[in-house]
């Protein structure tokens, strides 16, 4: 295999990984856009999403070999998990963040870290700490395009992510609720005067972000398996992706995620970084972005007026 | 006919009674002035009525409905709009976009309480709806003679024009009642003259206006009724001519005359 096709292969792999980061990064960025607050429990919501997806899927199919039914069951379990996580996200906001909305900015952040611990330790308590395999609901025989191989799993990940992001873009830009959301992110008190129920917008933001995290968690489960602390590293990297793209910016999170996935997949072999150290790439990228363009790729470059 | 009434409205902050047992009322279709020395409780009264803050006791009745303690967004949906002493515009949006914002979330058009068919319709015809909203917004801008600034950023307008834009956005939502908190503050005489002209035009549209203002020339010229507050207590109400002659008001503003 020539070096070029090898790197083409890395890019395909990076795209898959990046699509998952994008889905999760959207939750960070949407919440930040509206509340100027980083929801550190977001990574654990994706873990809960993966667990719920796995439970529903195994309940529906047992250990059946891939068929049309398992594929249907996969999408059903994804839908159930999205709804469950949306409710969980709204609940967390209501209980752990809303009472602190007028408090010092550090307070909700600490509360978020607390929620994160509750979720991951709660999952360890209920499900145990061993990791579980998410069975493929389809035959995962790689296909070959030229000398690049692409698995059905990768196609599903990319297709599902693209569909979710297209739906979200339409929702945010074309519906009245999306408009209310964008208005709220510009200026909360003023939007309230325009007759927008800001509390409802915030709940909706958490619901959408958490539902996307559930999808991300299930898609990530194929590669990373399902275990209580699976959200920590994936969540952290998705947060890095949101910062790279410009936190608070929806398109930025999409671009940042894909970019981070590709940089990680290409960067590690290019720089001869051993497998165990692969995660350093993401954080090195974060440091570079923070030094060079702290507002991220699509972030507004706002200078304080003097 | 009274469009708004407060009954025994009181707001205490710790030991301070900012608004004390005030019965304030507004006649439909007229311009009512709310005046008083600094710290008299005028803005606090506005805040209680528009839902920015909850009264300690008392009632607010709007259009026959008790709206005491409702959240700001609900009150704004019922048809009460307001502007602030410190301007609250979407500064990063253009002038016309600010007015469009007022139109998008117009009275009765709750983004969350949309019937399904309407939601689909507004989705399918989004670009047409946007065009209509844009044209309507431009009409409001020409009402305020701001159309030449339509594409400028709201934050870049001169101060007086930002104030008028805020009023334009509030009006675009087609409120029944409009509260203006010191609309002429920081305006130069020619801007103030234009504002008086604008308030007069708003009254002609049939919108009831309540304004807090320190510019006595403006208040006396434009208001049909005036209510005077001092230390949170209503000390007088009446027509501008009655208020000008009122002993209590003169005392509140100028101090008691020395006994000779």
Give the tens place of pLDDT for each residue, A59-74: 998 877 888 888 899 9
Rounded alpha-carbon distances, angstroms, from residue B145 to B83, B90, B165, B211: 19, 19, 10, 21
Q: In sequence order, what are the residues at sequence separation of 6 or more whose Cβ sits closer than 8 angstroms to the Cβ of residue A299?
A: A245, A246, A247, A248, A249, A252, A293
Smallest Cβ–Cβ distance between B90 and the set A175, A190, A192 belongs to A190
What pLDDT is attached to residue B119? 55
Cβ pair B101, B93 in contact under 8 A: yes
Smallest Cβ–Cβ distance between B76 and the set A180, A187, A193 belongs to A193
Pairwise CB contact (< 8 Å): B92 & A179 = no
Query: Is the pLDDT at B11 greater than 60, yes or no?
Result: yes
Alpha helices in A65-187 (DSSP H): 68-92, 106-127, 152-174, 176-186
Q: Is residue A297 part of a domain?
A: no
Work out the end-to-end distance of chain B between its first and last CA atoms, rounded to an integer number of angstroms. 45
Pairwise CB contact (< 8 Å): B109 & A183 = no
Query: Is the pLDDT at B102 greater than 90, yes or no?
Result: no
Report residue B165 as tokens. Answer: 């834009």
- Find, in chain B, the residue whose alpha carbon is nearest to that of A189: B88
What is the architecture of the domain spanning B90-174? 3-Layer(aba) Sandwich (3.40)
Of A30-39, A80-89, B105-114, the one with minimum mean pLDDT is B105-114
What's the mean pLDDT when you consider all of chain A?
A: 89
Q: Is residue A301 part of a domain?
A: no
User: Where exactly does CATH 3.40.50.300 map onto chain B?
Assistant: 1-79+176-260, 90-174
- Find, in chain A, the residue whose alpha carbon is nearest to that of B88: A190
Could you tell me whether strands B177-181 and B25-27 are parallel, antiparallel, or unpaired per DSSP bridges? unpaired
Please report the number of interchain residue pairs, chain A to chain B, with beta-carbon separation below 8 angstroms.
70
Mean pLDDT for B78-94 is: 85
Query: Is the pLDDT at A196 greater than 80, yes or no?
Result: yes
Using one digit for the tens of pLDDT, what is the confidence trace for A13-30?
999 999 999 999 999 999
d(CA A252, CA A48): 25
What pLDDT is attached to residue A242? 94
CATH class of residue range B1-79+176-260:
alpha beta
Q: Is residue A303 part of a domain?
A: no
Q: Is residue A302 part of a domain?
A: no
- Percent pLDDT > 70 in chain A is 97
Calculate how close chain A gets to B32, using CA atoms only, in Å.
21
What pLDDT is attached to residue A302? 53
Pairwise CB contact (< 8 Å): A197 & B114 = no
Work out the end-to-end distance of chain A between its first and last CA atoms, rounded to an integer number of angstroms. 58
Alpha helices in chain B (DSSP H): 42-49, 72-78, 95-104, 116-124, 126-143, 159-172, 189-204, 216-222, 240-245, 247-254
Using one digit for the tens of pLDDT, what is the confidence trace for A108-148?
999 999 999 999 999 999 998 888 888 888 888 888 888 88
Total domains present in chain A: 1
Q: Is residue A210 part of a domain?
A: yes
Query: Is the pLDDT at B110 greater than 60, yes or no?
Result: no
Q: Is residue A258 part of a domain?
A: yes
What pLDDT is attached to residue B118? 56
d(CA B213, CA A125): 63
What pLDDT is attached to residue A305? 41
What pLDDT is attached to residue B1? 82
CATH number, domain with residue A51 = 1.10.3470
Q: In sequence order, what are the residues at sequence separation of 6 or more whose Cβ sits closer than 8 angstroms to the Cβ of residue B48?
A: B6, B9, B11, B19, B54, B55, B60
Expressed as residue numbers, the domain containing A23 is: 3-138+152-292
- Please report the ipTM that was assigned to this predicted complex: 0.71
What pLDDT is attached to residue A306? 39
Mean pLDDT for A241-270 is: 91
Which position has the token pair 């952040």? A109
Using one digit for the tens of pLDDT, what is the confidence trace for B204-239?
988 999 999 888 888 888 999 999 988 888 888 888
Q: Is residue A304 part of a domain?
A: no
């Amino acid at each position: 295999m020539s070096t070029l096709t090898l790197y083409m292969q890395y890019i395909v792999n990076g795209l898959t990984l990046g699509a998952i980061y994008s889905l999760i990064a959207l939750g960070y960025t949407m919440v930040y856009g509206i509340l100027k607050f980083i929801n550190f429990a977001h990574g654990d919501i994706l873990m809960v999403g993966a667990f719920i997806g796995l439970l529903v899927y195994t309940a529906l199919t047992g250990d059946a070999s891939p068929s049309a039914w398992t594929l249907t069951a996969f999408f059903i379990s994804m839908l159930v998990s999205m709804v469950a996580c949306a409710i969980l996200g709204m609940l967390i906001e209501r209980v752990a963040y809303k009472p602190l909305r007028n408090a010092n900015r550090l307070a909700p952040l600490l509360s978020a870290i607390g929620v994160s611990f509750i979720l991951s330790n709660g999952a360890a308590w209920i499900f145990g700490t061993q990791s579980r395999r998410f069975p493929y609901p389809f035959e995962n025989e790689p296909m070959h395009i030229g000398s690049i191989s692409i698995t059905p799993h990768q196609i599903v990940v990319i297709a599902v992510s693209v569909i979710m992001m297209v739906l979200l873009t339409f929702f945010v830009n074309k519906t009245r609720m999306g408009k209310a959301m964008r208005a709220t992110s510009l200026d909360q008190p003023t939007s309230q005067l325009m007759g927008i129920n800001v509390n409802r917008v915030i709940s909706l933001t958490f619901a959408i972000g958490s539902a996307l995290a559930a999808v991300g968690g299930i898609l990530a489960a194929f590669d990373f398996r399902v275990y209580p602390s699976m959200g920590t590293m994936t969540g952290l990297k998705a947060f890095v992706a949101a910062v790279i793209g410009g936190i608070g910016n929806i398109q930025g999170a999409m671009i940042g995620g894909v970019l981070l996935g590709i940089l990680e997949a290409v960067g590690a072999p290019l720089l001869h970084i051993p497998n165990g150290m692969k995660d350093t790439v993401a954080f090195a990228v974060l440091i570079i972005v923070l030094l060079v363009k702290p507002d991220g790729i699509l972030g507004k470059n706002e200078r304080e007026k003097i | 006919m009274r469009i708004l009434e407060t009954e025994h409205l009181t707001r205490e902050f710790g030991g301070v009674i900012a608004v004390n047992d005030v019965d304030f009322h507004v006649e439909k279709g007229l311009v009512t002035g709310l005046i008083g020395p600094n710290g008299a409780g005028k803005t606090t009264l506005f805040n209680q009525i528009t839902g920015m803050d909850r009264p300690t006791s008392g009632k607010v009745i709007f259009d026959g409905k008790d709206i005491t303690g409702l959240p700001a967004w609900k009150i704004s949906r019922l048809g009460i709009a307001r502007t602030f002493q410190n301007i609250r515009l979407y500064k990063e949006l253009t002038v016309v976009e600010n007015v469009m914002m007022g139109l998008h979330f117009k009275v009765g058009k709750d983004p969350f309480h949309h019937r399904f068919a309407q939601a689909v319709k507004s989705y399918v015809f989004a670009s047409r709806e946007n065009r209509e909203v844009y044209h309507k917004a431009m009409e409001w801008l020409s009402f305020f003679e701001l159309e030449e600034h339509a594409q400028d950023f709201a934050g870049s307008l001169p101060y007086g024009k930002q104030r008028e834009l805020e009023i334009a956005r509030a009006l675009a939502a087609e409120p029944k009642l409009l509260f203006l908190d010191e609309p002429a503050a920081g305006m130069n005489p020619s801007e103030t003259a234009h504002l008086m002209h604008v308030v007069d035009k708003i009254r002609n549209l049939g919108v009831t206006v309540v304004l807090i203002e320190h510019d006595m020339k403006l208040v006396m010229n434009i208001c049909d009724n005036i209510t005077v507050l001092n230390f949170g207590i209503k000390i007088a109400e009446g027509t501008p001519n009655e208020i000008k002659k009122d002993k209590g008001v003169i005392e509140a503003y100028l101090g008691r005359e020395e006994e000779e």
